[in-house]
Amino acid sequence: MADLILHYAPDNASLIIRLILEEMGLPYDTCLVDRQAEAQRGAAYLKLNPSGQIPALETPDGPISETAAIALWLVDRHAMMGPAPSDADRGAFLKWLFFMSNTLQSGLRMTFYPEKYLGDTSADQALLRAHMQTVLAGHLQLLEHQAQAGHRWFGGAEVSVFDYYVACCLRWCALYPQVRPDWFELGAYPGLHRVVQNLEQRAATQAAQRAEGLGPTPFTAPRLAKPPEGSAI
C-alpha cells in the first residue's frame, strides 16, 4: 500500500489533487467516496474529514483535508510545483492559491448549489446564481491578468499546483450549472486558455482522463465525466 491514499469522487475537487500527485510522480492509492450513497457523510469518512467535503488525503502525517491545504502540503513536502517558503514569489503564490480556495471556488459552490444557501425557492436560487456568475466573471478577469502577466508559478515552464487548480475550476465553470451553461466562455480569457491548453498535453492530465472519464479535452472543451466507477454528483 502506498503512503498516500486519495479519497476522491470523480470530477470533484479531488481531481485537483489527483492531477498534482500524477504530475509529481508520487505513488498513491485511491479510495472512492460514493456520493450517490452519501458516503462523505458516513462515520468512516468523517473521521478523515469532519466537514464531510471531498477530498481527503491520508498521509504519513495523518489525514489532510481542504484542497488548498493538501496542495500546499505536497508542495512543501516534496519541494516541487510551487515556490519554497524562502522564495520571493511565495507570498504572491499563497495569495492566489487561497484566492482560488476561499473566493473563486466558494463562489462556484454558490452557483452549483444555491439551495444550500437559500432553500427551495427557485426564483431566489436563480437570482443568487445570476449574481454570483457576474461576480465570478470579475474573479476570472483577475486570473486572466495574472496569466497575461506571467509568473513562474502560473503558466510557466514548470507546471505548478496553481495551474491545475485553475484548470479544474475553469472546467467546472464550463459544465455547471447545466440550467445556465452559457454564462462562461473560455475564449474570452486567452491567457487562461493558453495555460489549460498546455496542461491538456501533459501525462498527468491524460492519466486523470483515464481514471475519471473526463474525455479528450477536459479543460478547453469539457464534457460531463463518464467515470469507470462512482459518480461526479
Which pLDDT score, from 0 to 100, does residue 105 have?
96
CATH code for residues 90-202: 1.20.1050.10
Mean pLDDT of 96-104: 97
Q: What is the full DSSP assignment across 120-153?
A: S-HHHHHHHHHHHHHHHHHHHHHHHHHHHH-BTT
Q: In which element (H, E) is residue 90 found? A: helix 90-99
Residue found under cell 455547471: 176
Cite the beta strand spans of 14-165 per DSSP E: 29-32, 56-59, 62-65
Mean pLDDT of 61-75: 97
CA-to-CA distance for 193 and 195, rounded, in angstroms? Answer: 5
Q: Domain map of the chain by residue range?
A: 90-202
Examine the pLDDT at 55 and tell me if it is beyond 90.
yes
Cite the beta strand spans of 62-113 per DSSP E: 62-65
CA-to-CA distance for 231 and 233, rounded, in angstroms? Answer: 5
Instruction: Give the whole-number percent of the chain exceeding pLDDT 90.
Output: 86
